[in-house]
């Protein structure tokens, strides 16, 4: 069986039962690698007993998607105190993201007024929205509302889900050339027929207020360098922790999820704060045990109630980035949001936790507004890096 076939079968099987099959898959892939090396060895021996050089694609590893399974039905039952490691007499701090975001927005609004007075212009934020996903439309609505509250000009290019990739690129190009626009974001996820990386890379580096341009992510990874922009959700997580007086240096932090939107940049930013970082993903063996050793848990897996009380050690700090829409006919929008963390269980174990909604979300939007302001200040020569 070829490596590609193993990868396809393994990815499908792992989605049904991740932990044991992921281990089995790794054994199969390793066996294929060893067999390949053994086949190449005689040829290398004839050439001078050199070991074969591995291909770059093999060293980069197989490109399997992170496809999380929802928690089993049995996990919906609240664990007993001894199973969860909980002390039900402890007092848990609910980290109020709304009030933290409000303070940030007040400062931004004042700086926008000062900019208008100094140069006669205000920052401009342009959003490209493709398709009609309800959650994406909701996020864009909140971002537009945030712009209005602080005096930032907002523009929206809304395209149908069946539009071409070139149409999206054209919208990005127009905003790149518009001097009144200082920040551009493409609302993710994009339809599957589009090359997300190509579109994000087309955004001008100086206007990449979402921080997803390869150069911004690369500079974030290199501690000796400074990115123009840090992804907003990652900034929000760190802001919430610092505003809450939580020490990061030397602490064990587990980040659940490794997407370029949250997990990856958050883990990189935590390392800049000298935290010891573990990253949990869909192929991690025994994620519960790893998470239970952590001082701080940041979850961005996109799976409702994935993290139970039994995943947490007593006194852990929990930042729940998950915003999972659950159908709700009683809601004005037809759904309500839940986090990755089972709040009712975690609140009995954690020393501090963010709620959903009202935790990370408002601060993420405030970080976006702040990035847009910084971009305009840089363009108008009001700050220098």
Catalytic residue numbers, as ranges: 143, 187, 210
Q: Dig out the tokens for 73 from the structure.
A: 């039905």
d(CA 380, CA 87): 54
d(CA 14, CA 8): 10
Measure the CA angle with vertex 246, ends 230 and 374; round to 5°.
25
CA count, 13 A, side-chain hemisphere, 356: 26
Q: Dig out the tokens for 361 from the structure.
A: 């979300």
Q: Dig out the tokens for 301 from the structure.
A: 């897996």
Reported for 222-227, long-range contacts at CB under 8 A and 24+ positions apart, including other chains, are: 223/271, 223/272, 226/385
Burial of 209 (0-12, 13-18, 19+ CB in 10 A): buried
Return the beta strands (E) in the chain as ranges. 93-94, 124-130, 153-159, 183-186, 252-256, 276-280, 296-299, 317-320, 324-327, 335-338, 352-353
Do the beta carbons of residue 185 and residue 140 sit within 8 Å?
no
d(CA 8, CA 268): 30
């Amino acid at each position: 069986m070829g490596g590609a076939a193993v990868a396809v079968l393994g990815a499908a099987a792992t989605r049904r039962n991740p932990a044991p099959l992921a281990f089995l898959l790794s054994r199969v892939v390793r066996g294929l690698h060893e067999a390949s090396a053994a086949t190449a060895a005689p040829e290398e021996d004839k050439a001078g007993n050199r070991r074969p050089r591995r291909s770059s694609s093999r060293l980069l590893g197989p490109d399997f998607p992170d496809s999380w399974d929802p928690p089993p039905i049995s996990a919906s039952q609240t664990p007993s105190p001894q199973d969860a490691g909980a002390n039900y007499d402890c007092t848990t701090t609910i980290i109020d993201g709304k009030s933290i975001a409000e303070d940030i927005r007040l400062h931004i609004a004042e700086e926008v007024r000062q900019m208008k007075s100094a140069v006669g212009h205000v920052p401009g934020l342009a959003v490209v929205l493709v398709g009609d996903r309800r959650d994406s439309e909701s996020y864009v609505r909140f971002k537009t509302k945030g712009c209005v509250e602080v005096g930032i000009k907002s523009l929206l290019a809304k395209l149908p889900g069946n539009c071409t990739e070139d149409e999206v690129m054209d919208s990005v190009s127009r905003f790149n050339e518009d001097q009144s626009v200082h920040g551009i974001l493409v609302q993710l996820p994009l339809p599957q027929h589009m090359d997300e990386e190509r579109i994000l890379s087309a955004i001008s580096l100086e206007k990449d207020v979402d921080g997803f341009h390869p150069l911004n992510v690369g500079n974030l990874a290199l501690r000796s360098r400074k990115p123009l922009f840090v992804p907003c959700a990652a900034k929000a997580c760190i802001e919430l922790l610092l505003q809450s007086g939580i020490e990061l240096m030397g602490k064990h932090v587990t980040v659940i999820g490794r997407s370029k939107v949250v997990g990856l940049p958050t883990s990189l930013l935590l390392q800049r704060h000298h935290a010891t970082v573990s990253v949990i993903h869909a192929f991690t063996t025994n994620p519960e045990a790893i998470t239970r050793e952590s001082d701080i848990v940041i979850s961005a897996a996109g799976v409702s109630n994935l993290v139970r009380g039994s995943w947490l050690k007593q006194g852990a700090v929990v930042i729940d980035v998950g915003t999972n829409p659950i159908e709700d006919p009683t809601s004005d929008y037809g759904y309500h949001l839940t986090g990755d963390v089972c709040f009712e269980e975690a609140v009995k174990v954690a020393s501090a936790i963010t709620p959903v909604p009202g935790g990370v979300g408002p601060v993420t939007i405030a970080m976006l507004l702040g990035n847009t302001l910084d971009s305009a200040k840089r363009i108008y020569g009001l700050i220098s890096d």
